[in-house]
């Protein structure tokens, strides 16, 4: 039988809510930027196809925003409901970015409402672009502020704790902690990358199904090109994140890499298995790569897991999360680079079915990498909720009924997930591009 353990159930419920919320939050951060880019390209090229692209993306975006808003409200409240001891302590240091996140979100919500309901109100398309800029800024700013909170939990600073009493608080030092630059940069670039790949998947799907409309070709080119730029940027930031970990959270890096003994010239271990004595088997080893990742020098010393107290190291399965995330990231960077190069050199096969199928998979794969990356970041700081200050078990609620709530929310997310997918599919099936273009009598773009 299960024994009621509020800590475990609180962790599960938080994990469930965040896993679900992150899908919509990532789209919420990246898609407004893509909409603004499409609108801008449309104005610059005086091409109605791009304007229509922006509008159709927005229509789908509204559905994802709604689910993002309600699940965001859920996690916002759950922070206090499930982790009251943590919020009581950290709330004194970190409420500033939390507060600012709400402001950014408020700002975004206002302008999204205006943009949605003024579609045909202004003759000048530039006015619509001007409305999209605050939406994109607001969504990225809220991602930035909330990531600062998470960064603080990884590398807390800006306060002193003496016998459970917090003093000498510096809100700005807490916000701009060592983890902030790499975390914020990685969250933003990967959100842009993932959103671009998801939109690319949709275009590739239509082309794969045999619809050769120029609209979809333009959409694919725009999205994959953007996705390439952002995946390249994500990889760069990812490398910086590795160096950050080596310096500030060596136990997370060591667990992710199964690096047990402190050594110089450390190899990077990919995949493989562990036996009961923590010996790595069946792995691919890339010599010196870990030393380079950690300190930019093949001979650098990398701290091993054995140096840390046993009760302060994270679970070793995060190794797989790390490897999968990185593999997907590199794979997608290469795929988008090939497509872009192929476009320049007029390779025919980049429009072949197998390659299009690969592009269809890119969106979901990218989202999977986002989830894996968050699991890595969060599980990797176990057993701490506030690294070095408060363990997860001390932070959880003592309340009963967390198990029941877990069931209730599981059902809720299942229903919301199914409903949003159904609604989105119906929305675009009933109103295909050709129909909408004909309605706008702008078919002069032509079918190639």
Partner 1 sequence: MTLEIIGISVLWLFLFGYVIVASIDFGAGFFSAYSDFAKKKHILHKIIQRYLSPVWEVTNVFLVFFFVGIVGFFPKTAYYYGTILLVPASIAIVLLAIRGSYYAFHTYGKTERNWYLLAYGLTGLFIPASLSIVLTISEGGFVEKSGETLTLLYKELFVSPLTWSIVLLSITSVLYISATFLTYYANEAGDMKARELLRKYALSWSGPTILSALLIIYQLRHHNPEHYNNMFNVAWMFVVSFVFFVITIYLLWKKKRYGWAFVSLVLQYAFAFYAYGISHYPYLLYPYLTIYDGFTNKTMAIALIIAFIAGFLLLVPSLYLLLKLFLFNKKYVKGQL
33-92: contacts with partner 1 (CB under 8 A): 59, 62-63, 65-67, 69-74, 76-85, 87-89, 91-92
Q: Which is nearer to partner 1, 2 or 117 (CB)?
A: 117
d(CA 347, CA 368): 29
Contacts to partner 1 from residues 382-401, by CB under 8 A? 397-399, 401
Q: Considering only residues 92-111, where is the footprint of partner 1 by CB under 8 A?
A: 92-93, 95-96, 98-103, 105-107, 109-111
Closer Cβ to partner 1, 279 or 422, answer by number: 422
Binding of partner 1 at residue 339 (CB under 8 A)? no
CB within 8 Å of 191: residues ≥ 6 apart = 25, 26, 29, 30, 143, 370
Chain centroid to Cα 369, Å, comes to: 8
Q: How are beta strands 390-391 and 384-386 bridged, if at all?
A: antiparallel
Q: How far apart are CA 207 and CA 360, in angstroms?
A: 10
User: Counting contacts by CB under 8 A, is residue 169 touching partner 1?
Assistant: yes
Tally of helices (H runs) and strands (E runs) in the chain: 14, 8
Q: Quickly list H helices, 46-157.
A: 48-82, 84-116, 125-154
3-state helix, strand, coil in the chain (%, to 5): 75, 5, 20
- Give the residue, chosen from 1, 44, 46, 117, that forms a contact with partner 1 under the rule CB under 8 A: 117
Q: Is 147 helix (H, G, I), strand (E, B) or coil?
A: helix
State the nearest-atom distance from the C-beta of 413 to partner 1, in Å.
Answer: 9
Stretch that binds partner 1, among 190-198, 212-220, 249-257, 414-422 (CB under 8 A): 414-422
Residue 286 binds partner 1, judged by CB under 8 A: no
One residue of 43, 337, 412, 442 binding partner 1 per CB under 8 A: 412
What number of chain residues touch partner 1 (CB under 8 A)? 73
Q: How far is the CB of 94 from partner 1 (least distance, A)?
A: 9
Contact call for residue 273 and partner 1 (CB under 8 A)? no
Query: Could you give the CA distance from residue 345 to residue 252 in angstroms, rounded to a whole number?
Result: 43
CA angle 14, 18, 20 (to 5 degrees): 125
Site string for partner 1, 345-384 (x = CB under 8 A): ----------------------------------------
Give the nearer residue to partner 1 in terms of CB position, either 158 or 342.
158
Which residues sit opposite 384 in a β-bridge?
391
Q: Which of residues 418-447 bind partner 1 (CB under 8 A)?
A: 419-420, 423-424, 426-427, 430
């Amino acid at each position: 039988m299960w024994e009621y353990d509020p800590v475990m159930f609180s962790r599960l419920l938080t994990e469930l809510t965040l896993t679900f919320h992150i899908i919509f939050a990532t789209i919420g951060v990246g898609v407004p930027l893509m909409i603004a880019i499409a609108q801008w390209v449309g104005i610059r090229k005086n091409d109605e196809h791009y304007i229509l692209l922006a509008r159709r993306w927005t229509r789908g975006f509204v559905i994802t925003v709604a689910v993002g808003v309600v699940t965001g409200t859920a996690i916002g409240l759950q922070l206090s409901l499930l982790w009251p001891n943590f919020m009581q302590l950290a709330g004194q240091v970190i409420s500033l970015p939390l507060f600012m996140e709400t402001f950014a979100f408020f700002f975004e919500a206002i302008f999204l409402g205006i943009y949605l309901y003024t579609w045909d109100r202004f003759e000048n398309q530039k006015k619509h672009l001007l409305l999209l800029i605050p939406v994109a800024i607001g969504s990225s700013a809220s991602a930035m502020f909330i990531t600062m909170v998470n960064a603080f939990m990884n590398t807390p600073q800006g306060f002193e704790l003496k016998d459970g009493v917090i003093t000498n608080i510096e809100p700005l030092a807490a916000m701009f902690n060592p983890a902030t630059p790499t975390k914020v940069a990685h969250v933003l670039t990967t959100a842009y990358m993932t959103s671009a790949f998801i939109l690319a998947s949709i275009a590739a799907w239509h082309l794969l199904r045999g619809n050769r409309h120029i609209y979809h070709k333009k959409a694919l080119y725009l999205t994959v090109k953007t996705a390439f730029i952002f995946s390249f940027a994500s990889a760069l930031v990812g490398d910086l994140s590795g160096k950050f970990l080596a310096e500030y959270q060596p136990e997370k890096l060591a667990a992710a890499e199964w690096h047990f003994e402190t050594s110089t010239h450390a190899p990077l271990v990919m995949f493989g298995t562990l036996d009961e004595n923590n010996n790595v088997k069946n792995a691919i080893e890339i010599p010196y790569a870990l030393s380079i990742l950690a300190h930019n020098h093949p001979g650098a010393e990398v701290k091993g897991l054995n140096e840390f107290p046993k009760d302060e190291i994270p679970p070793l399965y995060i190794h797989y999360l790390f490897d999968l995330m990185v593999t997907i990231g590199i794979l997608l960077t290469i795929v988008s680079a090939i497509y872009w190069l192929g476009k320049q050199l007029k390779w025919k096969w980049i429009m072949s079915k197998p390659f299009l199928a690969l592009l269809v998979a890119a969106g979901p794969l990218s989202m999977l990498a986002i989830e894996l990356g968050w699991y890595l970041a969060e599980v990797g700081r176990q057993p701490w909720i506030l690294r070095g200050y408060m363990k997860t078990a001390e932070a959880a609620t003592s309340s009963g009924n967390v198990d029941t709530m877990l069931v209730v929310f599981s059902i809720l997310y299942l229903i919301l997930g199914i409903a949003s997918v159904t609604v989105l599919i119906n929305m675009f099936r009933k109103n295909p591009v050709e129909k909408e273009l004909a309605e706008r009598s702008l078919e002069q773009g032509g079918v190639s």
